[in-house]
Structure 1
Amino acid sequence: MKVLIMSDSHGWEDEVRDVIEINSEVDMIIHCGDSELDRDSSVFRNVLVVKGNCDFGGDFPEEVYETIDDVSFYVTHGHLYNVKMTLERITYRGEEKNATIVCFGHTHIATCFQQNGVVYINPGSLRLPVRPKEQTYCICDVTNESITVQYFNREGIEVSDFKKTFIR
């Protein structure tokens, strides 16, 4: 299963659409919040979207838990877990939800790691990146044996040194 994960696009609709079109072969699409778009935007058809701290109104849920086959995804923006200061609270939440993969944004820093069997993925920011300085999203490739996370810039070119594979 391949999953497109993006976050923090801050009002960009055409650019989000472009990333989705570049990655049309994926099985699932996740946006980790701060889209600053309305829920009825055509770009979000068949996209799992959560509410970020810059998303106003009640259009999106604060968190989503979705299971496909034997893979459970917990998705939240991260601001409610203070991810800019510590990852401790979100790791506790991931374990509470018995997630296989936790997706979050908010920091604008692309990162992924595994803790206590749970894989945590922050795709970085599509519009206002902190680290790397490139605008990023990621593709998560899940097999029975592993979870591989690969980062790309907006044009679909792989961001070097950001690919990681975790054992399931």
Structure 2
Amino acid sequence: MSKILIVSDSHGLTKELEVLRERHVQEVDLMIHCGDSQLMPDEKYISGYSTVMGNCDFGGYPIETITEVAGRKIFVTHGHKYSVKTSLMKLKYKAQEFRANIVCFGHSHVLGAEVIDGILFLNPGSIRLPRERFEKTYIILDLLDDKIKLSVFELNGREIADLAHEFVLPN
């Protein structure tokens, strides 16, 4: 069992990233930032986050990462190189190439979660400039033995309970 915090598109916010880290550091095993932090990798505000390069970022971040947590392979990218604003098809093909179970991405600022061909695709929305909803959101994934529990939180820490969901993915 592991918990993962997923955030994206903070576009220069600093204290908010620190607040999220302090709020959840004791309960999560991994904190992922899906890019467009607009912070340099050595800045204290982004420390502790596994971060990828967004289209608004400069220097030092990888374009994508693969991490294995609790027996699940997690592919993280910002999404701009895969045209995620129009389709998840290119991203799906890359995830299949990596044999990923979970894909975390941002770029569109639109909160979303869906399973395509047995792969869970997650976009935590944006904690700065959300689109298609008012709430500034991030996600916590609880990786359990036989399922994945998704919880969506507002930047202020309030859980959006009606967006909670459980997924069962094939092995």
Asked whether the two chains share a fold, i.e. TM above 0.5, the reply is yes
Equivalence map 1:65-76=2 (5 Å): 65-76=66-77
Contact 2:10–2:127 (CA<8 Å) still a contact in 1?
A: yes
In 2, the alpha carbon distance for the partners of 1:159 and 1:70 equals 28
Quote how far apart the aligned CAs of 1:53 are: 0.5
Unaligned runs of 5+ residues in structure 2 are none
- Higher mean alpha-carbon deviation, 113-122 vs 154-163, is at 154-163
Between the aligned residues of both structures, percent identity stands at 41
Quote how far apart the aligned CAs of 1:69 are: 3.7
Quote how far apart the aligned CAs of 1:43 are: 2.6
- Higher mean alpha-carbon deviation, 133-142 vs 157-166, is at 157-166
Quote how far apart the aligned CAs of 1:132 are: 2.0
Contact 1:124–1:131 (CA<8 Å) still a contact in 2?
A: no
Which residue identity lines up with residue 48 of structure 1 in the other structure?
S
2:110 counterpart residue number: 109
Deviations 1:81-101 (A, max 9, x none): 000011111111111111111
Equivalence map 1:1-168=2 (5 Å): 1-24=2-25, 25-56=27-58, 58-168=59-169
Quote how far apart the aligned CAs of 1:76 are: 0.1
Quote how far apart the aligned CAs of 1:45 are: 2.5
Which residue identity lines up with residue 54 of structure 1 in the other structure?
C
- Higher mean alpha-carbon deviation, 43-52 vs 80-89, is at 43-52
Length, aligned pairs only: 167
In 2, the alpha carbon distance for the partners of 1:146 and 1:105 equals 23
In 1, the alpha carbon distance for the partners of 2:6 and 2:66 equals 15
- Higher mean alpha-carbon deviation, 7-16 vs 18-27, is at 18-27
Look up the SS of the partner of 2:90 in the other structure: helix
Please provide the CA RMSD for this pair. Answer: 1.1
TM-score (norm 2): 0.94
In 2, the alpha carbon distance for the partners of 1:21 and 1:117 equals 33
In 2, the alpha carbon distance for the partners of 1:160 and 1:67 equals 28
TM-score (norm 1): 0.95
In 2, the alpha carbon distance for the partners of 1:151 and 1:69 equals 20
The structure 1 segments of at least 4 consecutive aligned residues displaced by more than 4 Å after TM superposition are none
In 2, the alpha carbon distance for the partners of 1:155 and 1:46 equals 20
